[in-house]
Amino acid sequence: MNTYQATRLVAAREIKVKLRDKSFLYGTLIFLLIAVASTVLPALLRGGPSTVAVTAAQASPLRTAGLEVLVVADDAAAERAVRAGDADAAVVAGPIVIGDDRAPDDVVRALSTAPTVRLLDPDAVDPVTAYLVPFAFAFVFFIMSQTFGIQVAQSVTEEKQTRIVEILVAAVPVRALLAGKILAAGALALGQVALIALTALAGMRLAGSGDLLALVAPALGWFVPFFLLGFLLLAAMWAAAGALVNRQEDIAGAATPVQLAVMAPFFAVVFLNDNATAMRILSYLPISSPTAMPVRLFTGDAAGWEPFVALALLLLTAAGFLAAGARVYEGSLLRTNGRTSVRAAWRQRERIG
């Protein structure tokens, strides 16, 4: 069995095991429900347009504003329609707007004469959207990297703790074992992200958020390759951290640098997304570019060539971290006499496989 065949065999086994795991399936379902709720519920909670009882002479401006108009014979009939619940509001001579238990703001706006507005930046993103989209990108990358990364580390440590790793390395090359685990985790994470993205896009379409969909779609397309390479970079670190210890309880201590590498980009993008200079720097740093560059593409702050440069830097860095993680992994995988230091694993990697 060559390295490619061994890698494919390990990856297939890891994926099959995970797809049978109820916690993984339930977690995926919860993420999908959150994606649906965050896109569909706001539109449903806004409700439909108000129904306004008016005479025929007053109906035109209200119809133009998109309100539902109930034409009645006179002002008294309009007021009776509100009392009976047939209309949300009424407009009578004056004009006077009649409401039931709250002021019908949409009717008032429809009857008001607004001044002409000229925007200097008509393509600017809504402030709320400009905050929520960066948070969503950062949150998805943070959660996926954390969840699947920990699972990679736990899988490595479990194999060491049960000594089954000694049987595995006798059958497949060590690097194939590592590559299979990372590729399986990456495929599962990417599949989960793709499902969440498709569900969110479908929710936006159902909610009638066409403008937001057009803004998010290009950035979302770039997020996929950035996410995949960023995840591979971190997964190599998680696997190395898992190989350094012999007990599940010790993973947290060994993985502290990895935890910081996952958390730092999340908080940086969330809190600095309105700082153009900081975001430009973050979008080129391999550890933060998976979230920072898609955010800059969403806000329109990145030139067309920038994501290609950032992606190339991320690819080179991910390859370097994969090579370094593989060396630490090899050097510590069969060491069962307590926690192994990174220096010891780097210098004395096992010549096996």
Position 313 scores a pLDDT of 93
Q: Which amino acid is at 114?
A: A
- Same domain for 85 and 181, yes or no, is no
SS3 81: helix
Q: Structurally, how many domains does the chain consist of?
A: 2
**Together in a domain, 331 and 197:** yes
Structural domain contains residue 119: no
Q: Considering the domain boundaries, does residue 118 fall inside one? A: no
Same domain, 199 and 252: yes
Which residues span the domain enclosing 64? 51-103
Q: Which range, 17-21, 69-73, 111-115, is most confident?
A: 17-21
Long-range contacts of 316-322 (CB under 8 A, 24+ apart): 317/233, 317/286, 318/229, 318/230, 318/232, 318/233, 318/236, 318/286, 321/233, 321/236, 321/237, 322/182, 322/232, 322/233, 322/236
Same domain, 95 and 133: no
pLDDT for residue 352: 43
Does residue 68 lie within any of the structural domains?
yes
The answer, yes or no, to whether residue 192 has pLDDT greater than 80, is yes
Residue 141 located in a structural domain? yes
Between β-strands 51-54 and 89-92, what pairing exists: parallel, antiparallel or unpaired? parallel
Residues 99 and 192 in one domain: no
In a domain, 137, yes or no: yes
pLDDT recorded at residue 240: 83
Entry pTM = 0.68
Instruction: Kindly state whether residues 215 and 168 are assigned to the same domain.
Output: yes
- Give domain status of residue 108, yes or no: no
- Tens digits of residue pLDDT in 121-143: 555 555 666 667 777 778 888 88
Assess whether pLDDT exceeds 90 at residue 316.
yes
Q: Nearest CA to 142 among 269, 10, 281?
A: 269
**Rounded Cα distance, 258 and 263, in Å:** 9
Cα-based distances in Å from 70 to 13, 101, 186, 271: 64, 19, 57, 48
By CB neighbour count within 10 A (0-12 exposed, 13-18 middle, 19+ buried), where does 48 fall? exposed
Is the same domain home to 211 and 65?
Answer: no
Q: Which residues contact 199 (CB under 8 A, 6 or more apart)?
A: 32, 35, 36
Range with the poorest average pLDDT among 67-71, 185-189, 291-295: 67-71
The average pLDDT across 173-190 equals: 84
Residue 309 pLDDT: 93
Single out the residue of 258, 6, 9, 226 nearest to residue 152, CA to CA.
258
Q: Do 93 and 131 fall within a single domain?
A: no
Shared domain for 95 and 199, answered yes or no, is no
Residues 158 and 264 in one domain: yes
User: Tokens standing for 44?
Assistant: 């449903």
Strands ordered across the beta sheet of 68-71: 68-71, 51-54, 89-92, 96-99
Same domain, yes or no: 226 and 174: yes
The per-residue pLDDT for 310 is 92
The whole-number average pLDDT for the span 85-111 is 70
How sure is the predictor about 284, in pLDDT bands with cuts at 50, 70 and 90? Answer: very high
Round to whole Å and give the CA distance between 353 and 106: 72
Higher pLDDT, 120 or 75: 75
Pair 97, 182 in one domain: no
